[in-house]
Amino acid sequence: MSEEQEKMRLAGRSSTRTDEGLASRLTAAEILYRVDQEAAYADVLLGGRLPDFPPADRRLITRLVLGTLAWRGRLDYELAHLTGRKLEGIQPAALAIMRMGLFQLRFLDRIPQHAVVDTAVSIAKRIPEARNASGFVNAVMRRATRETAPMPTRERNEKSFLAVAYSHPRWMVERFVDWFGVENAERLMTANNDAAPNAIRLNLARGSRAEIIEKLSADGFGIGAPGRAPETIVLNSAPHFESRAYREGLFHAQSEASQMAARMIAPRAGATVVDCAAAPGGKATHLAEMVGERGRVIAVDLNLGGLRNARGLARRLRHRNVEFVCADLTAAIPLAPSSFESVLLDAPCTGIGTLREHPEIKWRLKPGDPARMAAIQSRMLENAAALVRRGGAIVYSVCSIAPEEGEGVVDGFLARHGDFEIDRGVAAEGVLKDVIDARGFMKTRPDVGGLDGFFAARLVRK
């Protein structure tokens, strides 16, 4: 942690004792600063700080952080107009404060404008590096209460308009329009800026669905809509996530699309499944539940820290049938080739299908990243598929909607391996049938059914 971050953290602790409302906003500003300056991930930082606050403040901090990140492109467009200067020259902590303040002015109408301005200035004064810019923050925020920046003219340059209006990088707008058309691209970008459903996976190895839901309700969780699968539910609220039910391993937070990708394996009870690129363990533990105590899951990943997290998750969920192997999937895997009935490769990807949970990804990805990741994914698929025995299957999945990372990787693999074919029989599965396309690929999007953007294909070795 840098000296500036430490000062911000200490300022937050001090303000907790004197002004809890200001403390929550100061914490949000600190997280935004670290995401911007350190390339940190907002969900990780939120997970480390939110337990210090009561439920209402947790919700506010989360909304401020994720909302500001999601709308950063539009906020920066307007801040450039309001400040009359390039944002690169503004002190980073002050810029984080102004982004968050402008987000509140434009998107959170329950907060009085004067309160937003006063809070922004108070935060700037409490952060040493931003203190000298507090007058500048005050002037910009006050100007923002009086005027807004004019939007680009859609008729003159439609994609520039869409980039600002929906707060996505222009190159990403161009890709979405090319892939889905203008209307679908607009719906997709609208959905990307919304909050993701709070989906969890029930650990049915620890009790029935009804029994676990009863315990969750007793812990104060608000039970919302059921998911597609018996193990899936969506929460309306979670006042204290690390509850008794959490500690007892009754559930795991996991998006519904992620759960569906694991379900495409459809392993038989007692089977051995290899989960390649298994960290942080969500799918590996899901598979451990599916195969049962007599089956086993071999979780492989290069990231030793990620494997430790996966081991901790398996321990919390009380799955004793998961083994862990540290290996590089872009090289040869230290497992016997042609020996396994079921293999899952949930490959590392751009994450462009998860912008609701990780809005910072929008501003970090570059136009060449999908193709760059596809080259890595292709090597990993080659090595993972070598483990599959005749008659066995591999499921390849990514949390991306980029064609290069989905069907592009699979089509390239099939062109090189005539002994594999797409298994279209999975479309008959009730949980999956409405997200399987004519080729047998699972494709989901936030604007279609509210699911994260995933691609998955089940390939059978003939």
Burial (CB count <10 Å: 0-12, 13-18, 19+), residue 201: buried
Structure tokens at 169: 């990088």
The answer to whether 363 touches 399, Cβ cutoff 8 Å, is: no
Could you give the 3-state DSSP secondary structure of residue 269? coil
* R_g of the chain, CA atoms, integer Å: 23
Catalytic member of 276, 326, 349, 399: 399
Q: How does DSSP assign 307-344, residue by residue?
A: HHHHHHHHHHHT---EEEEE--TTS--SS-TT-EEEEE
Whether 399 is catalytic: yes
20-38 vs 3-18: helix axis angle to the nearest 10?
160
CA 72 to CA 352: how far, in whole Å? 16
For residue 396, list its beta bridge partners.
Answer: 345, 457
Could you give the 3-state DSSP secondary structure of residue 376? helix
Could you give the 3-state DSSP secondary structure of residue 296? strand
Q: Any idea which residues carry the catalytic annotation? A: 399
